[in-house]
Structure 1
Amino acid sequence: MVTITYRDADIELDENVYDPAEDSYLLADVAIDVAQDGMHVLEVGAGTGFVSAVLQTNVDVDLVATEISPFAAECAKRNSVEVIRADMFGCFGSDTKFDLILFNPPYLPTAEDEKIPGWLNYAFDGGIDGREAVDRFLEEFPPYLSDGGIILVLISSLTGIDKVKMHMQGRGLDVEVCNIDRDCFFEELIVLKGTFKASEQL
């Protein structure tokens, strides 16, 4: 096993799980900036648990994560992240509310012949337009976000940033760009922050 350290968090990696990359670091940094002590936080699709582990090392939050891959779920647990093996929000009742929800979705446009065998495909496959998982997340999150709650979604310029922003606004969110990583050689990575107002819940 390989262990990496970032912002005082030691993260154990697993050969069966997508390794943290530029997108993971960017989302972790923004999450630390946005999160406040005492927040009830959910990370959807935790992977190795990198983002959650880094966040809870640096901010005193009450955090839980979901993860569909059994390999990733076990890896995140080894990294001291409370993980429920589930597909997005499927394990929660509608009375469960979070102050902050994090999502680093599979965002690469993926044709049928580009799919990867096994569980790793869940980490990469964004569907034909790269927005399949993002769109599903944006349709499902509203019952689980508290009044004035925040979502942080990492997307790529390959995903169609304006279309994602419009979808977020259509779900009652005030949207702003938190951070941009322009160092990637074929894309820009962007964290979109959406703030939910009670009067706009759907």
Structure 2
Amino acid sequence: MTENSKERLAERRGQETQVYQPAEDSALLAKAVCKAVRQSDRVHEIGTGSGWVAAQIAAETGASVTASDINPHACRAAADRGVQSIRADMFGPFVDNAFDAVLFNPPYLPTDPDEEWDDWMEHALSGGPDGRRLVVPFLTGLSRVLSASGSGYLLISSLTGYEAVESIAAENGLTVESIHEQSFPFETLFVLKLTRYS
């Protein structure tokens, strides 16, 4: 193994400890979105983490898929999977009506502020005191970047507060439909389809 190869392997191992890796929630979101997306769609994943979900959607649907994450290590990990990714915070750099589908697996677990630590994995896991720290800005900004017939796909937990999320979506002109769910011992995960009111 060359010195460059060793350095690259060490860098990749370091990224894995700072990037959210695929789990049950990732598979649930990928499965639901793959069923909904068409080959002609412009798809974007916010908070891509390792890029696994975006790569699955691109491979299974043939759609044009891009991704973003605020974490630079995540952007590199996604690029290593062949996903076109940019470093961005939520919707900041995107033009109006840019996407036919936007998906997000946010940090959704309620987290006591006293139990938080300041690193990239904390950003990937902590949903704030109510689990909606990043859910609210997603619901607030989603309509702007969706095409006229576009949809958003949001993964949440029963611990996030389904009815509260539904209410916030409605306040922002979005209808909510649960299109996939899976129960676990301490929570149920939902994939929500979000569309503008007609």
TM-score with structure 1 setting the length? 0.87
2:82 counterpart (65, 80, 83): 80
Name the CA distance, whole Å, in 2 between partners of 1:152 and 1:58: 17
What SS does the corresponding residue of 2:134 show, helix, strand or coil?
helix
Name the CA distance, whole Å, in 1 between partners of 2:88 and 2:194: 23
Match for 1:124: what amino acid?
L
- Which structure has the larger Rg? 2
**Structure 1 runs, 4 residues or longer, greater than 3 Å off:** none
Matched residue, 1:147: 148
Unmatched runs of 5 consecutive residues or more in structure 1: 2-12
Matched residue, 2:188: 188
Matched residue, 2:121: 120
> Could you give the per-residue CA deviations for residues 36-88 of structure 1, whole angstroms, max 9, x where no partner exists?
11101111000000110000000011111110111111101101111010111
Pairwise CA distance, 1:28 = 0.3
What SS does the corresponding residue of 1:16 show, helix, strand or coil?
coil
Matched residue, 2:16: 14
Q: Does 1:44 align with 2:53?
A: no
Name the CA distance, whole Å, in 2 between partners of 1:93 and 1:27: 24
Q: Is the 8 A contact 1:156 1:189 kept in 2?
A: yes
Q: Does 1:26 align with 2:28?
A: yes
Matched residue, 1:160: 161
TM-score with structure 2 setting the length? 0.89
> Could you give the per-residue CA deviations for residues 82-103 of structure 1, whole angstroms, max 9, x where no partner exists?
1010111112233x52100001
Q: Is the 8 A contact 1:145 1:196 kept in 2?
A: no
Match for 2:150: what amino acid?
G
Match for 2:191: what amino acid?
V
Name the CA distance, whole Å, in 2 between partners of 1:196 and 1:44: 19
Q: Is the 8 A contact 1:41 1:63 kept in 2?
A: yes
Matched residue, 1:131: 132
What is the aligned-residue identity percentage?
A: 42
Name the CA distance, whole Å, in 2 between partners of 1:45 and 1:29: 17
What SS does the corresponding residue of 1:66 show, helix, strand or coil?
strand
Name the CA distance, whole Å, in 2 between partners of 1:41 and 1:104: 14
What SS does the corresponding residue of 2:150 show, helix, strand or coil?
strand
Name the CA distance, whole Å, in 1 between partners of 2:120 and 2:82: 22
Q: Is the 8 A contact 1:153 1:192 kept in 2?
A: yes
Q: Is the 8 A contact 1:66 1:89 kept in 2?
A: no
What is the count of residue pairs matched by the alignment? 185
